[in-house]
Amino acid sequence: MNTEKKVRTRIAPSPSGYLHIGTARTSLFCYLYAKKLKGEFIVRIEDTDKSRTEKKYEDDILDGLEWLGLKYDELYRQSERTDVYVKKLQELVESDKAYISKEKAKDDDVREVEVVRLRNPNTMLTFTDTIRGEITFDTTELGDFVIARSKTDPLYHFAVVVDDALMDITHVIRGDDHISNTPRQILILEACGFERPQYTHLPMILAPDRSKMSKRKGAVAVTEYRAQGFLPSAIINYLALLGWNGGTEKEIYSMEELVQDFSLDHLQKSGAVFDIEKLKWFNKEHRKLIPKESLTRDLKAQLEGNTGILEALERSPKAVEDLLERFSTWAELKEAVATGEYDFYEKLPVLEKDMLAWKKDPNPERMKDRLHKILELIGSVDTTTFTYENVKGAVWAYAETEGKGGVLWPMRVALSGKERSPDPFILAEALGKEETITRLNEAYTLYL
RNA sequence: GGCCCUAUCGUCUAACGGUUAGGACAUCGCCUUCUCAAGGCGGUAAUCAGAGUUCGAUUCUCUGUAGGGUCACCA
């Protein structure tokens, strides 16, 4: 029989803000480690400070974790466990490990309060961190710190220690901003007679200037990345490689593969700058793994309201493909649409003669003839099979003999009204025969 | 300021005493090409500094420097 304790990890977010990208990564590592060892991953909402807690944040955190695919096995709220803390607090006071101290309220020196302070043994304390090895603190500097606002109102450190112990948390995996909190928690833990968990302090995720990530320096909430159109699998993959590596050059991981390969051995010691560009790359890579139909459906949903584009996409699988490979996120796509980059799908472009001419054209005087010929060739393509391949087939041979630039450039500009756009065959397929002819005619009349 | 942690290309990282210091993102160039994007190929680019230990240090030790964290009746 296996006598080893089942691995149990936990994430302990405070519902005082939206799911933070750093919390998401800590959750991911807790999840991966637990699942790797067939253990359990627990979410514990740390809401002991009622004044800073909001339900909408709790909802966002839980939603976010689910969206990312980090399924928890148990969920707790500290606000629902007060009796547990009160009892433990009482025991501590009764055994004189802690004491009630009458003093002036911190924010009001008239009001008297009765806080609970821990009797600090004032010793040197050493604990082992998975990543950094032994870390020693002199606990004297901590003094008899407060562990509860009152006999019935526990503070963070106390609640954490009691919960971790009672919930059988075997591995405390958290951000390294908690390193200095650890001795304090161990003191409480020893006063309670609990066993120490294994501590693993993950390096922080940093803003580009290497300081703590904050709203001022870019998006910190998972919801924001979600809104921008990042795939959960891409975020997971990126976050996993921020501070961890599989020891190989493999970079694209699915959640299953991460669970398979994860270990606490390849963790980084120093903080990692969050690089949105690399996240975008991961997003592109993960998008390639998603079934085409599903992506197409999402694309169309994103473009809701842009009827011209939607009709074009309905007609042209090539245009769908083109849009899909051009942008790494939906936010970028919508931005491009909003700034009019694709307005040729919505309305007739305004043509200018000098834009119609290819800059490197050796025979610009042949424009009129060419447009006439293009019109003729395209006119021969059947309306019902007006596809990328067929349009290309009709024009290609002529373009090669006449000079591709001299033919394809004006054709493309006539259809798009832009110097930069998808290629002319995609445009033709997307616009349909009637519209294609109309636009080419429009260009032709400029030369009459 | 005290205490604690950290230090390889711009960024994420590999190298667990011996490598032309490897890969990825970004960047630059070339190819492809009607434009843009994509794609293919290639280039630039790093061991914080100074002492030790060693035949040999990115790797071990010490000091300095820099950055970060933490010092609540927040979590």
Q: Write out pLDDT tens, residues A169-220.
A: 999 999 999 999 999 999 999 999 999 999 999 999 999 888 888 877 778 9
CA geometry: angle at A361 spanning A394 and A343, to 5°? 65
Distance A278 CA to B40 C1' (A): 21
Region for A6 from its dihedrals, namely left if φ exceeds 0, alpha if ψ lies in -120 to 50, beta otherwise: beta
Map tokens 């500097």 to a residue: A141
Q: Write out pLDDT tens, residues A69-110.
A: 999 999 999 999 999 999 999 999 999 999 999 998 887 778
Nucleotide lying nearest to A156, CA to C1' measure: B75
Of all helices (H) and strands (E), which one includes residue A289?
none
CA distances from A415 to A266, A312, A329 (A): 54, 13, 26
> Residue A106's pLDDT is what?
84
User: Does A232 score more than 70 pLDDT?
Assistant: yes
Q: Which nucleotides of B are covered by protein (CB under 7 A)?
A: 2-8, 10-15, 22-26, 33-39, 67-75
Nucleotide lying nearest to A53, CA to C1' measure: B75
Contact A184, A145 (CB under 8 A): yes
* Separation CA A311–CA A301 (nearest Å): 13
User: Does A117 score more than 70 pLDDT?
Assistant: yes
> Residue A1's pLDDT is what?
47
Contact A422, A322 (CB under 8 A): yes
Q: Which residues pair with A100 in a beta bridge?
A: A116
Nearest-CA neighbor of A314 among A333, A299, A294, A328? A299
> Residue A166's pLDDT is what?
97
Distance A271 CA to B66 C1' (A): 15
Distance A268 CA to B57 C1' (A): 22
Nearest-CA neighbor of A143 among A117, A110, A169, A177? A117
CA distances from A344 to A278, A432, A446 (A): 31, 13, 19
Nearest-CA neighbor of A88 among A183, A164, A12, A6? A164
Strands (E), A106-257: 108-118, 124-129, 133-138, 146-150, 153-154, 171-175, 198-202, 205-206
Domain map of chain A by residue range?
Answer: 8-75+204-283, 81-202, 291-345, 353-445
Q: Residue A353: phi, psi to the nearest 5?
A: -60, -40
Contact A131, A116 (CB under 8 A): no
Nearest-CA neighbor of A393 among A356, A385, A444? A385
A353-445 CATH:
1.10.10.350
Residue A19 burial (10 A CB sphere; 0-12, 13-18, 19+): buried
Tokens (6 digits) for A362: 């050796």
Task: Average the pLDDT over A231-245 and give the result.
Answer: 96
> What residue has its CA nearest to the C1' of B24?
A251
Q: Write out pLDDT tens, residues A340-397.
A: 999 999 999 999 888 999 988 888 899 999 999 999 999 999 999 999 999 999 999 9
Which residues, 6 or more positions from A446, have their beta carbon under 8 angstroms from its beta carbon? A351, A353, A356
Task: Average the pLDDT over A291-316 and give the result.
Answer: 94
User: Does A3 score more than 60 pLDDT?
Assistant: no
Nucleotide lying nearest to A12, CA to C1' measure: B75
Fold annotation for A8-75+204-283 = Rossmann fold (3.40.50)
Fold annotation for A81-202 = Rossmann fold (3.40.50)
Asked if the domains A8-75+204-283 and A81-202 are classified in one and the same CATH topology, the answer is yes
Assign 3-class secondary structure to A316-364. Answer: CHHHHHHHHHHCCCHHHHHHHHHCCCCHHHCCCCCCCHHHHCCCCCCCH
Nucleotide lying nearest to A177, CA to C1' measure: B69
Contact A179, A110 (CB under 8 A): no
Task: Work out the percent of chain A whose per-residue pLDDT is above 70.
Answer: 99
Q: Write out pLDDT tens, residues A37-64.
A: 999 999 999 998 888 899 999 999 999 9
Nucleotide lying nearest to A142, CA to C1' measure: B71
CB atoms within 10 A of CB A297: 11
* Separation CA A212–CA A439 (nearest Å): 54
Round the average pLDDT of chain A to a whole number and report it: 94
Task: Work out the percent of chain A whose per-residue pLDDT is above 90.
Answer: 90
Distance A238 CA to B16 C1' (A): 25
Q: Write out pLDDT tens, residues A241-271.
A: 999 999 899 999 999 999 999 999 899 999 9
Assign 3-class secondary structure to A33-80. Answer: HHHHCCCEEEEEECCCCHHHCCHHHHHHHHHHHHHHCCCCCEEEEHHH
Please say if A35 is a catalytic residue.
no
Task: Average the pLDDT over A296-306 and give the result.
Answer: 94
Map tokens 């019935």 to a residue: A152
Nearest-CA neighbor of A88 among A165, A162, A179? A162
- Tell me which of A106, A215, A250, A360 is the catalytic residue: A215
Q: Distance from CA of residue A221 to its chain's centroid?
A: 8
> What residue has its CA nearest to the C1' of B35?
A420
Distance A405 CA to B23 C1' (A): 39
Distance A188 CA to B3 C1' (A): 19
Which residues, 6 or more positions from A387, have their beta carbon under 8 angstroms from its beta carbon? A429
> What residue has its CA nearest to the C1' of B26?
A277
Task: Average the pLDDT over A402-411 and give the result.
Answer: 94
Distance A28 CA to B29 C1' (A): 40
Q: Helix A276-287 crosses helix A232-240 at what angle (to 10 degrees)?
A: 130
Nucleotide lying nearest to A284, CA to C1' measure: B38
> What residue has its CA nearest to the C1' of B67?
A210
Contact A287, A324 (CB under 8 A): yes
Tokens (6 digits) for A431: 């616009």
Distance A309 CA to B33 C1' (A): 26
First-to-last C-alpha distance (Å) of chain A: 92
